[in-house]
Amino acid sequence: MRELFKYLKDYKKECILSPAFKALEAGFELLVPLVIARMIDKGIPDQDGSFIIRCGFFLAILAFVGFACAILAQYFAAKAAVGLSTNLRHDLFSKLMHLSFSKIDEVGSSTMITRLTSDVNSVQAGVNMILRLFLRSPYIVIGATIMAFLIDTRSALLFVLLIFVLALIVAVLAYSNISLLLIAQQKLDKITEAIRENLSGTRVIRAFCRQEEQTGSFQDKNHALFLAQKKAGVRTALLNPITYIVINLFIVQLIRIGAIQVGNGTLTAGSVVALYNYMSQILLELVKFANLLITVNKAFSGWKRITDILHMKETGTVTEEAVPDPAADLIVFDHVSLKYHEDADEVLSDIDLVIKEGETVGIIGGTGAGKTSLAHLIAGFYRPTAGQVRILGRETKEYKPEQLTDMIGIAMQKPVLFQGTIADNLKWGREEAKDPELMEAVRMACCENVLEEHGGLQAVVNQGGRNYSGGQRQRLCIARALVKKPKVLILDDSFSALDYMTDRKLRSNLSTLSERPTIIMISQRTVSIQDCDHIIVLDDGRMVGHGTHEELLQTCDVYAEIYRSQGSMSETEGGVAS
């Protein structure tokens, strides 16, 4: 809870004024039964119309002032709650952006989305309700009980018993509902995951005519969420009928006791009406308080899920910049193995290699051989589970992420562009880059025709680059990596959507880069890497070959088989430019 208050520190004034105005409203509300009692006991028996009018005018003033106080309380509560959710959402998003790939894999993207949206909204609603009702309801209940004692001690004892019984009912129902609400949130995670997966794969679903199957799967998950929410809702729905039954039983007893006392002359009719009104106020406030507890339960379950992310710690977080050794080899894999999860199989096993500065290195292997995993280890996205990955004499885990980012440029296996312009996307590589530098990177990446077709550097890029073809996205992503002028350039299967002619021209351009980066080129095609200084062949996570194209044809059966399966096609096939 102390951490939650941290997000309200900029809204101390609102957190004080909102409950204060609610307390004022409650105070005016407690005066209403006394005024009505005076109207019944004095105005009606004496047939004093002016007194009744004055009392009515006073009630109108109480209503108006109470309404104004309620509006102000709502304004300050909403301001504080929205401010809290804004800051909380910002910190949560910032935390997610700085999590390592392994932590992101552990949490899951669908859960992250739910926590950024539904859970934060639950916390916002809970804070709003607490500021408005957490003090008001007890204030009304305690105030009504005190007023009852001032009117009649014997009748007021019923109020004490009523509050105890209702508080017990509310506590039992609220406590038993917490676990049900957590289960419902977990079901909502599954719904979010299904929606995200189906939206991203909608073309595949339609291509294989699996709409009905996916619709059925979604309906199953949706029905599970419905049952979980229904179970929690049934528990919540019991609150009102039970409390109303209890309160009405107490009202019957109150009226019975009041009638006897009125008959004895020890209590006036107006006092009985006032006691009835105070008991009704207690009923309404306890029902409100019960609903508040339900909202707060949702808020606390959401807050717990949010803090699980905020408190997630990376192992061995680096706080100081490592000092590279310029004399050391650029990249060294020292008997490296990698598992994505503790109980998973190794995706890389005992990788031992050295990459020197200025070399062009090719990596090839079948699907699932571990090519991208090896590139991710160099970029520091994952840490090896065994062995060491060293860059310029330092382990990757010793570098701050910003240091690795400055040294390494990468064009991912899946080309991703962001909404904006082409220039905006290219400047992700280096924000201060000027237009001539952007155009040079565009030329090197063979995508001048992309700019000509779409309208230059200021051409619009839709979300995910949907208005560009696969080959155009790949070349723009390569250009973005080139803008950075990195020490190490990783091209993770970035030529897969390119025709052979564009592939050849792009490789030729890379060989003429003035900054001469070390290039690590991952590819499925031997033609794309056969001119590399040396080639690494992976098979089922193991390095089964290492050498030049000619050497591997003689010494590595896996490489020779890949070359034979596509070699003749590589030499002759052109293909349509993407």
What SS3 string covers 483-550? Answer: HCCCCEEEEECCCCCCCHHHHHHHHHHHCCCCCCCEEEEECCCHHHHCCCCEEEEEECCEEEEEECHH
Identify whether 320 is part of a domain. Answer: no
Shared domain check, 366 and 292:
no
457, 438 contact by CB (below 8 A): yes
Shared domain check, 527 and 380:
yes
The predicted structure's pLDDT at residue 569: 45
The predicted structure's pLDDT at residue 315: 62
Read off the CATH number of the domain in which 268 is found: 1.20.1560.10
Tokens of 428: 């992700």
- Angstrom CA distances, 466 to 300, 312, 325, 419, 475, stand at 39, 34, 43, 10, 14
Identify whether 39 is part of a domain. Answer: yes
Identify whether 228 is part of a domain. Answer: no
Q: In 3-state terms, what secondary structure has residue 140? A: helix
Q: In 3-state terms, what secondary structure has residue 417? A: coil
Shared domain check, 114 and 30:
yes
Q: Are strands 408-411 and 488-492 parallel, antiparallel or unpaired?
A: parallel
Identify whether 222 is part of a domain. Answer: no
Identify whether 402 is part of a domain. Answer: yes
Give, for all 578 residues of the chain, the pLDDT tens digit: 677 888 888 888 988 999 899 888 888 888 888 888 888 888 788 777 888 888 889 889 988 998 999 899 999 999 999 999 999 999 888 888 877 777 777 777 777 888 888 889 888 988 988 888 877 888 888 888 888 888 888 778 887 888 788 778 877 777 777 777 778 877 887 887 888 788 878 888 888 888 888 888 888 889 888 888 888 888 777 777 887 788 788 888 888 888 888 878 778 888 888 888 888 888 778 777 777 777 787 788 788 888 888 887 766 566 577 888 888 889 999 999 998 877 778 899 999 999 999 899 999 988 888 898 999 899 888 889 899 999 998 888 888 888 888 889 898 888 888 999 999 999 988 888 899 999 999 999 988 888 988 888 999 998 888 888 888 898 999 999 999 888 999 998 888 878 888 888 988 898 888 888 999 999 888 888 888 999 999 998 899 999 999 999 999 999 999 888 876 444 444 443 33
Q: Which domain holds residue 552?
A: 331-572
421, 427 contact by CB (below 8 A): no
90, 140 contact by CB (below 8 A): no
Read off the CATH number of the domain in which 550 is found: 3.40.50.300
The predicted structure's pLDDT at residue 574: 41
The predicted structure's pLDDT at residue 570: 46
- Rounded to 5 degrees, what are φ and ψ at 47? 50, 45
The predicted structure's pLDDT at residue 573: 43
Tokens of 157: 């004892």
Q: In 3-state terms, what secondary structure has residue 383? A: coil
Shared domain check, 152 and 100:
yes
Shared domain check, 436 and 567:
yes
Shared domain check, 553 and 519:
yes
Helix residue spans in 386-490 (DSSP H): 401-407, 422-426, 435-444, 448-454, 470-483
The predicted structure's pLDDT at residue 578: 37
Shared domain check, 156 and 300:
yes
CA distance 573 to 465: 28
Q: Is the pTM of this model over 0.75?
A: no
Write the single-letter amino acid at 363: I
β-bridge mates for residue 151, sequence order: none
- CA neighbor of 287 nearest in space, from 229, 234, 254, 247: 247
Tokens of 155: 């009748």
Shared domain check, 564 and 497:
yes
Report how many domains make up the chain: 2
165, 52 contact by CB (below 8 A): no
Shared domain check, 266 and 379:
no
Shared domain check, 477 and 346:
yes
Identify whether 317 is part of a domain. Answer: no
Identify whether 186 is part of a domain. Answer: no
CA distance 483 to 79: 43
Shared domain check, 560 and 500:
yes
Q: Which residues contact 315 (CB under 8 A, 6 or more apart)?
A: 383
501, 509 contact by CB (below 8 A): no
β-bridge mates for residue 368, sequence order: none
Give the DSSP H or E segment for 354. strand 348-355
Tokens of 115: 């926590």
Identify whether 211 is part of a domain. Answer: no
Shared domain check, 443 and 515:
yes
Q: Are strands 408-411 and 394-395 parallel, antiparallel or unpaired?
A: unpaired
Q: In 3-state terms, what secondary structure has residue 323? A: coil
DSSP notation for 146-183: HHHHHH-HHHHHHHHHHHHHHHHHHHHHHHHHHHHHHH
